[in-house]
Amino acid sequence: MADALAEAYLKVKTKRGDVTRALYLVVAELDTAELVDRSLRSMKADIAAMFASAKDAEFVDANVVTAMFLLALSGTVRAFIEDDTAIA
C-alpha cells in the first residue's frame, strides 16, 4: 500500500517537474491557505483510512502514520523539485 502510494505520488510530481515547480511558486505567492488546508485534510483522511484498512499491519494511530508518511514524502520531493540542479 505505502509503496504504491509513494510511487504514484513520485510519478505525478516528477512527470512534469517544471509544472510542479511552477505550482509550488504560485502557492507561495497567492492566498491559497484555505484551499491547501482543505485538500490536505481530505488527503490525510483518505490515506489514514487506507492505512487503517491494511490487513497485514496494525497501527496505534493511523493519523500519526499518515502525517509522518506525508511529511517524509512531500518534504523530500519538494526539496528535489525546488533544487535547480535536480531537474534539467
The predicted pLDDT at position 65 comes to: 93
Please report whether residue 12 resides in a domain: yes
Please report whether residue 87 resides in a domain: no
Question: Are 82 and 14 contacting, i.e. CB atoms less than 8 angstroms apart?
Answer: no
**Model confidence at 67: pLDDT above 90:** yes
Average pLDDT of span 80-84: 79
The predicted pLDDT at position 87 comes to: 56
Confidence band (pLDDT; 50, 70, 90) for 63? Answer: very high
Residue 73: which domain range?
2-82
pLDDT tens track for 11-61: 998 898 889 888 888 887 888 889 889 999 999 999 999 999 999 988 899
> What total of structural domains would you count in the chain?
1
> b/e map of 19-52 (b: 16 or more CB within 10 Å)?
ebbeeeeeeeeeeeeeeeeeeeeeebeebbeebe
Please report whether residue 88 resides in a domain: no
**Model confidence at 2: pLDDT above 60:** yes
